[in-house]
Amino acid sequence: MFNKSQNDDFLINFNNMLYHLNNLKNRKQVLENSIDAQKDNLKVLKNRLDLINRSKIQYKKAVDNTYTIKITELENLLNTVVSQIYYDKDYSVKIDLSDKYNKSLSFWLYDKEKDLLTPLSKSGTGRGIKTVVSSIIYIYYLLKFNAKYVFIDEGFVNIDSSYVDSFFIFLKEWIKSKNATVILNTHDERFDPFADAIYTINDGIVNCEQRNSR
């Protein structure tokens, strides 16, 4: 049997235990709610991550596709140029995306007659074809940005004399079709017949000679 004082203490302790138990239940519920909220946040974050990853894949495909289209366009242009300029040769140009991450290009020349594939970066390719290809690429990108003037400094001196005529005939028609003008600084008189005007400097005096070019 408990006396009244002991009963009061017991009730107080029991009530305190119930109070703490209710607090623990409330804290448990709060934690469970927090866990549920974090799970929802985790799902949202996972969905966002999946969306980002899918977007990256789609973007990479779009970029690769764009590069493929542009490379094909440039490759077709170069092969048109090579076939017209080197009319007595069976040359073709191949462009490879050698570094897909950095989008680096490598250029190859295929000589069908010799069944020989040579990198255009190799020196001594012959007949100035490396000069022709690099010049066409340079002009191609300038024209892509709607350049009206193309400045070239001694750029064509390596072109074999056999192909000077065919090169400049192509170049003039191409530049003219884009409403642009080539300004060539050169000492090579082989190119004079193709100029609409020739400016010479002697002792600081500029002379201009208008010509009926080819």
Taking only the tens place, the pLDDT of each residue in 26-62 is 888 888 888 888 888 888 888 888 888 888 888 777 7
- Provide the mean pLDDT of the chain: 83
User: What is the CB neighbour count within 10 angstroms for residue 59?
Assistant: 10
Topology of domain 128-214, CATH: Rossmann fold (3.40.50)
Per the DSSP assignment, residues forming a β-bridge with 14 are: none
- What is the rounded CA–CA span in Å between residue 210 and residue 180? 18
61: nearest Cα among 100, 26, 23, 111: 100
pLDDT higher than threshold 60 for residue 147: yes
pLDDT at site 76: 92
Return the domain boundaries, the chain.
128-214
66: its two tokens: 């764009």
pLDDT higher than threshold 70 for residue 8: no
pLDDT classification of 3: cutoffs 50, 70, 90: low
pTM of the model: 0.62
